Amino acid sequence: MSEEVRITRVDATNVDREGFFCFKSKPRTPGYQRKLAWLRDRFVEGMTLDILYEGKRSFAFCEAIPGEFAWRAINAPDYMVIHCIWTVGSGKKKGFASRLLERCEEEAARQGKSGVVILSSDEPFLADKKFFLNKGFAQVDAAAGFELLAKKHRQAPDPTIAHDWESRASAFGKGLTVIRTDQCPYWDDATNIAIDTAERFGIPARTVELHTADEVRTLSPTPYGTLAFVLDGRPVSHYYRLPRELQAIFNQSE
């Protein structure tokens, strides 16, 4: 007999109990605590966080927020923006992502938005473009290796990606700069690994934290917005890198 599938809406009243899917087994870590504090501020801005369970186990989640508060370097004020939608393990290929996407579209309609937007890329930590195109989304903009996908519920201007990436990245200067936010609990480890690895290579390294959605929109050196590694004024990654991967990047730059 198949187990019950249910979706739980996480908000300020139950986030301590439900968590936010990622790092659920590590609630005392700095990354978890930073994400938790970040979430509490986002809930008052209209963020939704849905976690899908099959039986007692969580298998998927969707985090979305009104476009004016999105932590992406995009302009989508009349849309709901999906930050993350993720299915893991044996939960894949069961339609769980489709269920969560339907909930997000319903929330966008409830909030009076023109549709739903998501940033896509072939790189890790971002959505599978094919899945969303099959769900009625269309590409409305592209820049710096990223595509912006939108599904409109009514006529509205297209959301857009910023395009001044070269000048943004060059402003961070020489050495390695890790530009980070608290949007993902993995970024604490990712930042520490990057800084430690750079220092072992004798590369000057620093961290720049972005604290608001406005800072992300105006300062992020990539459309992704919540994490970026910039080496000598050039973006080299927007996601978690292991030491050996960073070493390869540093060796290529010599």
* Mean pLDDT estimate for the chain: 95
- Write down the pLDDT at residue 105: 97
11 — pLDDT class (breaks 50, 70, 90): very high
- Write down the pLDDT at residue 14: 97
Distance CA 108, CA 85 (A): 15
- Write down the pLDDT at residue 25: 85
Identify the residue with better confidence: 226 or 254. 226
Give kind and range of the element (H or E) at residue 85: strand 80-87
Distance CA 63, CA 24 (A): 15
Residue 136: phi and psi, rounded to 5, are: 95, 5
Identify the residue with better confidence: 205 or 124. 205
Mean pLDDT score, 39-46: 97
218 Rama class: left (phi>0) / alpha (psi -120 to 50) / beta: alpha
254 — pLDDT class (breaks 50, 70, 90): low
Measured CA to CA in angstroms, residue 131 lies from 42, 97, 139, 170 at distances of: 27, 9, 12, 34
4 Rama class: left (phi>0) / alpha (psi -120 to 50) / beta: beta
Mean pLDDT score, 14-33: 93
Distance CA 76, CA 39 (A): 20
21, 218, 217, 242: which is closest to 119 by C-alpha?
A: 217
Mean pLDDT score, 51-77: 97
Q: Is residue 1's pLDDT more than 80?
A: no
Share of the chain above pLDDT 90, in %: 91
Model's pTM, two decimal places?
0.94
Distance CA 39, CA 20 (A): 9
Ordered structural domains, the chain, with CATH: 5-161 (3.40.630.30), 165-253 (3.40.30.10)
- Write down the pLDDT at residue 253: 67
34 — pLDDT class (breaks 50, 70, 90): very high
Mean pLDDT score, 149-165: 95
Q: Is residue 10's pLDDT more than 80?
A: yes
Q: Is residue 24's pLDDT more than 90?
A: no
pLDDT in tens, 183-225: 999 999 999 999 999 999 999 999 999 999 999 999 999 999 9
